[in-house]
Amino acid sequence: MRSRRCPITAILLLSLTASVPCGAAEPLGLYVRDGVVFRGGKPYRGIGANYFSLFSRRLKDPSDTSYRSQLKQLSEARIPFVRFMCGGFWPIDCELYLRDKRAYFALLDDVVEAAGENDIGLIPSLFWHMSTVPDIVGEPIDQLGNPDSKSIRFIRRYTEEVVTRYQDSPAIWGWEFGNEYNLHADLPNAATHRPPVWPQLKTARRRTERDELTSAHLLEALAAFAQSVRRHDKTRLLISGNSIPRPSAWHNTAQRSWQEDSVDQFGRILLRDNPDPIGTISVHLYPRENNEYSGRAKDVAQLIGIVQRYAHRAKKPLFIGEFGVPAQLDTEEERALFEELTTAIAAGGVPLAAFWVFDHPQQNKTWNVTFDNRRAYMLEIIGRANARIGRPSKSAKSTDGSL
């Protein structure tokens, strides 16, 4: 009878292959040596953008190739890479893939080609929305925790199709699983936070307790994704796509309570949710009212320092996959807060970060940043920050946050 889990020796071997020994041929994209992000044989740091709709706009309208000119502008503005949703958000958005893979991948090919032409790195997030895969295959969410389920088979198949198609493209800088699954896991009030039901979007028609995600389900799905990538791509960054753990995430799991975690408990959850062979620590950071941050931090800068401490111990570079400031603030207050965030990221020695969000019209009143709207100054701030952090540092292994 086939084991339901990968033997521990196989997990260790997969994890070891994520670090590139000195003297080996330099891999494509971003990779890790001794806890440091490298690109092309040199330590790398950079702040990019979330370009959520980079590919999905083409799925909705095959004639929409606006990303070509936008990628060119981003490159000229010193925005080195983008994180994007590499698939559909709702099951209905995945119909072209299910019906005609050749046509589907032709559209994605053009996105990858456009990024390569403009020297923009890509971090595709393959399974953005938590319930989409189970809904496509007709299973409840808990089947993300079953290694023999149709959901896990879908994750393995799609991952391998995407990775094998683009593994030789220098435009691909890393591979990400999904978006913020950890924020749905082990909630004490999970019954009131089940995924939405939108039959017109081809979701499930009803939800039950089996649609309540646990951390065990998430870890099984992450393992299936990571192992599938590593079968074909031994070196590029692997990213969970998780957000910063909730302030009570440890107690959510252990006691199903909202009691605040200690700093040590926060660190344990941070490492749990970014397990080997995932070789990075993924968090998303946003300003919080009343400075109620995870890890008992008093502000963003302190929180970055706490996360960096655990990342360095694990020799897993930190990726702040999202950060930003909402547009509801006064313009001067908004700018000051965004500069504060960017400065904290740069001063904290964070190797990779990406602001939320570029050219996302659905969020025009809240988060959208374009070259033409009033939030365009954010692109200038990021460009200047990249010019500073791109200068050679005294030591690639420096952890004191100095530039």
- The DSSP annotation for 190-215 comes to GGGSPPP--GGGT--S---GGG---H
pLDDT in tens, 71-90: 999 999 999 999 999 999 99
> pLDDT for 187-243, tens place per residue?
999 999 999 999 999 999 999 999 999 999 999 999 999 999 999 999 999 999 999
pLDDT value at residue 22: 52
The residues, ordered by sequence, that sit 6+ positions from 26 with a Cβ below 8 Å of its Cβ are 20, 38, 40, 41
**Is there a contact between 221 and 144 (Cβ–Cβ < 8 Å)?**
yes
pLDDT mean over 136-142? 98
Helix boundaries (H) for 118-198: 132-137, 150-166
Report, as an integer, the average pLDDT of 387-399. 56
Say whether pLDDT at 401 is over 90: no
Contact call for residues 37 and 19 (beta carbons, < 8 A): no
- Per-residue pLDDT at 399: 36
Q: With bands split at pLDDT 50, 70 and 90, how would you rate the model's confidence at 23?
A: low
Would you state the structure tokens that stand for residue 380, as one six-digit string? 């200038």
Structure token pair of residue 254: 């252990």
Query: For residue range 246-281, what is the model confidence (pLDDT) as tens digits?
Result: 999 999 999 999 999 999 999 999 999 999 999 999
Per-residue pLDDT, 350: 98
Range in 16-30, 87-101, 207-221, 306-320 with the lowest mean pLDDT? 16-30
Q: Tell me the C-alpha distance between 61 and 68, whole Å.
A: 14
Overall residue count recorded for the chain in this entry: 403
The H or E element that residue 116 is part of is helix 101-117
| Cis status, amide bond into 277, omega within 30 of 0 | yes
Average pLDDT of span 366-387: 97
Q: In what order do the strands lie in the sheet with 281-285?
A: 237-239, 174-178, 121-127, 81-85, 46-50, 352-355, 318-323, 281-285
Q: Give the model's pLDDT for residue 25.
A: 79
pLDDT band at 309 (very low <50, low <70, confident <90, very high): very high
Structure tokens given for 187: 């909630």
Q: Which residues, including other chains, have CB under 8 Å from residue 232's CB and lie 6 or more apart?
A: 160, 163, 164, 167
Tokens 């992450």 belong to which residue? Answer: 222
Beta strand 42-43 with 36-39 is antiparallel
Distances (CA, A) of 344 to 83, 119, 320, 335: 21, 27, 12, 14
Checking if the pLDDT of 173 tops 90, the result is yes
What share of the chain in percent tops pLDDT 70?
A: 91
Q: What is the pLDDT of residue 288?
A: 84
For the chain, how far is it from start to end, CA to CA, in angstroms? 54
Q: pTM value? A: 0.92
Least confident of 18-22, 46-50, 77-81, 309-313: 18-22
Q: What is the Cα–Cα distance from 158 to 225, expressed in whole angstroms?
A: 9
- At 289, the pLDDT band (50, 70, 90 cuts) reads confident
Does residue 338 register a pLDDT over 60?
Answer: yes
